[in-house]
Structure 1
Amino acid sequence: MDDSKCSARHAAGADPAKRGQILAGAKRVFMERGFDAAGVNDICRAAGVSKSTLYIYFDGKEDLFESMVEEERAKRFENVTSILSSDDPTVEVLHRYGCAVVSIVCSDEVVKAQRIIIGIAERMPALGARFFTGGAMRSQTALATYLRSAVASGQLAIPDVPRAAAQFLELSTATLWKPRLFGQRTVAPAPHEIEAAVTSAVTLFMAAYKVAKSA
């Protein structure tokens, strides 16, 4: 079937299946070649669409890359933020959230995307800023909302909640994420390594912010 013929049920550029097909092709090319070496023609071949069809759905390579990152991020974090809606003890919620986030940010595909962004951030700072806002800041914001509830209920005493949220995520990824990002670790950390790192992070975090019980 000619890829330029959109389904009669969808207006031009509104077929989710076609959009997903293009993004799947773009993902293969970007992950294999990086941003600079990936060409629109390469992406069209990988996706099995014409260039005219691609431009109905996306403005160009930068739009494609951002859309691909956002779609992958949405898939990966779909169930992660729901952890923070639990009524379980704060220690358990933080532990589960930390483990989930670390597993994602240390995964092969996410590390590859991070390296691509770092490589182009100097000449495309706006793209780098949007990547950070949509990723790291989203995780911190969700955690900050949870921490505010814990403060309001008297479980935690935190003078600067956004800072504390960032601190917890930094503590959780310590010894794991940067070695992955810079290639010292060539494979994702094992579950027991993530558990150990996050357990240490929770211990330190609670030592700093847990409300002391009255004698």
Structure 2
Amino acid sequence: MTSESTDPKHLAILNGATRMFLAHGYRNASMEKIAQAAPVSKATLYNHFDSKEALLAAVISNLCGSLLQTMTQVTIESDDVENNLNKIAISAMDLIYAEDALAIYRLVVAESPDFPELGQLFYQSGPQTVLTQLEDYFRHLNAEGHFNIIDPVFAADAFFSMLKGDLHLRCLLSKTLRPSANEKKRLISQVIHFYMRGMLHAKA
């Protein structure tokens, strides 16, 4: 049986919904319009997603999928912490500064005054999951006995915050500004260098 992640109709619905949400906003992107954009029947759409809220959550989760997959792999496959953080940072930067991700962020902020549940939905579907993954990784490092990370929750938040900073705000305020590949690489290198020496304390 075809899984949702590879089901062509499921993927078509996600792609169509992403386009409609970004073009028309959450309020004006009706389930009927999303079905037409996919294109699938309304019955097929509701067979996959029983509400527009659930569909938006899936769109956000889909955008975060690559990062979550990378984080899962590095916590299992490698003991090289600096290399692991570099992989996570690369995937995070690709996600944070992707055109669709920035547009979804703008959408949620714009719609939240009228739909306050969207803010919580966005946080739970993407950022919270990402943060929890990194927090768990830091707890794993502590349990292995090689590091003494005093506050894994703060450490995870600080890591992603440094990757965003002022640059992310400027990109949110401009539909044309995007960091180049070299700029992202340089920022990641600076963050990893600072982070390994300022946040992660190896045990003697």
**Bin for the TM-score computed over the shorter chain:** 0.7 to 0.9
Please state whether the residue corresponding to 2:137 is helix, strand or coil.
helix
Assess if the C-alpha contact under 8 Å between 1:102 and 1:177 holds in 2. no
**In structure 1, how many angstroms separate the alpha carbons of the residues matched to 2:63 and 2:196?**
32
Q: Look up the match of 1:85.
A: 76
Q: 1:119 is aligned with what amino acid? A: A
Aligned to 1:192: 182
- Indicate yes or no: 2:25 matched with 1:34: yes
Q: Which residue of 1 aligns with 2:63?
A: 72
**CA 1:143–1:60: 2 relative to 1, 3 Å:** closer
Cα deviations across residues 141-172 of structure 1 (Å, max 9, x unaligned)? 11112212322344432221111111111112
**Aligned with 1:123: secondary structure?**
coil
Q: Deviations over 1:150-206 (max 9, x none)?
A: 2234443222111111111111222432221222x7243222211222222222222
* SS in structure 2 of the partner of residue 124 of structure 1: coil
Match of 1:150 in 2: 141
Superposed, which structure 2 residues align to 1:7-22 within 5 Å? 16-22=7-13
Q: Which runs of 5+ in 1 are unaligned?
A: 1-8, 11-15
- Structure 1 vs Structure 2: percent identity of aligned residues? 25
TM-aligned CA distance change 1:54 to 1:211, over 3 Å: closer
Which residue among 96, 102, 124 is the counterpart of 2:93?
Answer: 102
TM value normalised by structure 2: 0.82
Match among 112, 136, 145 for residue 127 of structure 2: 136
TM-score (norm 1): 0.78
Task: Give 2:48's aligned amino acid.
Answer: Y
Retained in 2: the 8 A contact 1:173–1:198? no
Number of residue-to-residue matches in the alignment: 201
- Change in Cα spacing, 1:56 to 1:140, as seen in structure 2 (3 Å) is closer
Q: Which residue of 2 aligns with 1:59?
A: 50
Shift of 1:49: 2.9
Partner Cα distance (1:205, 1:168) in 2:
7
Q: Is this contact kept in 2: 1:29–1:42, CA < 8 A?
A: yes
